[in-house]
């Protein structure tokens, strides 16, 4: 997710459900590798250490870990603070960030009285995964990018709120990509099916084609142990292939819908009621099988039956000889 959004030295990054600060650390390491000029420029270095990295959480233990983790990776003073992102109003932080990376909590529900009113103006719902999506739209500056993990229900849910948010992403913003992930990728903590959703906030549309990728493996076994597999094999780890195809998206335009990745035009998505599930657009090729005529199959079964009977007779004879001896 970090590599696909490609953080820049002038970005202002936020994870509104930061937990241990993994996304912040990942973005910091990416910037160290790709933009070493940060550390020879006083202004950029100050931004890197003081204002680039922002994270919220309402769990005090997570806040302590989330503050320590970036510091141990060379980010001197990240802005990690207590905030219930869905319950508190966001005055002063509207359109404050250019990049959001997040894996927000799934399958929760809040009372309307507990929800921030500015989020309910975007979409009226009690579901936390939808409220977080509304929050990201609220926090991003126009032109800002987001890569977030969502449960699959966000992509095809039939409620009014589900459909409204998907329509906003497709029609009012620029939806870039949907990456479907294996259902057990978050084992042993959760087995829910999830996807990575990437979009750019524009407030003026811009979606032309949406890139879909069916990620079937991430280099680890899909059980509670999550054992590392031979990552050199494509069938064990699709991540290098995702990066390669994402960085050469022009080549993706010619891929058929039967392949592991493909583009879908906005018009097709609108015609499907803004359903964003990959399987809604994938074309399955049925392999034609040639079978022998029934008479030939019956003859072969009869031959096998004869061989079995002959074997049984030989076995009986051997048992009789053994008993006599």
Q: Which CATH number does the domain housing residue 119 bear?
A: 3.40.50.150
Residues of the chain under the 70 pLDDT cut: 91, 107, 285-286, 325
The tens digit of pLDDT for each residue in 244-293 reads: 999 999 889 899 999 999 999 999 999 999 999 999 999 876 677 788 88
| Same domain assignment for residues 271 and 132 | yes
| Same domain assignment for residues 172 and 259 | yes
What does 160-209 look like in DSSP terms, one character per residue?
A: HHHHHHHHIIIIISEEEEEEE--TTTTTTT----EEEEEEE--SS----E
* Residue 285 counted as domain residue: no
Torsion of CA 111, 112, 117, 120, to 10 degrees: 110
* Residue 221 counted as domain residue: yes
**In the prediction, which pLDDT does 105 show?**
84
Residues spanned by the domain of 298:
291-325
**In the prediction, which pLDDT does 163 show?**
96
| Same domain assignment for residues 301 and 167 | no
| Same domain assignment for residues 235 and 303 | no
> In total, how many domains does the chain have?
2
Instruction: Mention every residue, 6+ apart, whose C-beta is less than 8 A from residue 116.
Output: 86, 87, 88, 89, 90, 135
Rg of the chain on CA atoms, in Å: 27
Does residue 163 contact residue 274 with C-beta atoms inside 8 Å? yes
Report the DSSP beta bridge partners of residue 57. Answer: 82
Distances in whole angstroms, Cα of residue 117 to Cα of each of 45, 136, 201, 279 = 37, 15, 21, 35
**In the prediction, which pLDDT does 290 show?**
80
| Same domain assignment for residues 145 and 188 | yes
| Same domain assignment for residues 12 and 70 | yes
Report which of 184, 182, 208, 176 is spatially closest to residue 195, judged by C-alpha positions. Answer: 182
**In the prediction, which pLDDT does 320 show?**
84
* Region for residue 304 given its phi and psi (left: phi exceeds 0; alpha: psi -120 to 50; beta: otherwise): alpha
* Residue 129 counted as domain residue: yes
| Same domain assignment for residues 103 and 77 | yes
d(CA 301, CA 132): 62
| Same domain assignment for residues 151 and 28 | yes
Residue located via tokens 């099916």: 193
| Same domain assignment for residues 235 and 310 | no
d(CA 61, CA 166): 34
The tens digit of pLDDT for each residue in 290-313 reads: 888 898 889 899 999 999 999 998
pTM: 0.84
């Amino acid at each position: 997710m970090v590599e696909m959004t490609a953080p820049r030295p002038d970005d202002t990054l936020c994870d509104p459900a930061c937990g241990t600060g993994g996304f912040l650390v990942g973005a910091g390491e990416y910037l160290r590798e790709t933009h070493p000029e940060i550390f020879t420029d006083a202004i950029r270095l100050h931004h890197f250490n003081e204002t680039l990295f922002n994270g919220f959480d309402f769990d005090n233990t997570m806040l302590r870990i989330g503050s320590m983790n970036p510091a141990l990776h060379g980010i001197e003073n990240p802005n990690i603070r207590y905030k219930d992102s869905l319950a508190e109003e966001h005055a002063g932080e509207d359109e404050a960030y250019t990049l959001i990376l997040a894996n927000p909590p799934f399958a929760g529900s809040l009372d309307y009285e507990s929800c921030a009113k500015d989020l309910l103006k975007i979409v009226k719902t009690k579901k936390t995964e939808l409220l977080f999506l509304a929050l990201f739209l609220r926090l991003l500056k126009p032109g800002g990018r987001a890569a977030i993990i969502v449960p699959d229900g966000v992509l095809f849910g039939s409620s009014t709120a589900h459909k409204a948010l998907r329509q906003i992403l497709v029609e009012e913003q620029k939806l870039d990509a949907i990456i479907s992930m294996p259902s057990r990728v978050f084992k042993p903590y959760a087995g829910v099916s999830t996807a990575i959703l990437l979009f750019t906030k524009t407030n003026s549309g811009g979606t032309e084609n949406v890139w879909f990728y069916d990620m079937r493996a991430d280099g680890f076994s899909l059980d509670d142990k999550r054992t590392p597999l031979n990552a050199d094999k494509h069938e064990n780890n699709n991540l290098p292939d995702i990066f390669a195809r994402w960085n050469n998206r022009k080549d993706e335009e010619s891929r058929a819908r039967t392949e592991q990745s493909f583009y879908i035009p906005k018009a097709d998505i609108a015609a499907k009621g803004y359903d964003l599930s990959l399987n809604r657009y994938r074309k399955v090729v049925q392999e034609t099988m040639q079978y022998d005529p029934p008479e030939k199959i019956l003859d072969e079964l009869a031959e096998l039956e004869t061989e079995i009977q002959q074997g049984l007779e030989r076995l009986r004879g051997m048992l009789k000889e053994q008993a006599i001896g």
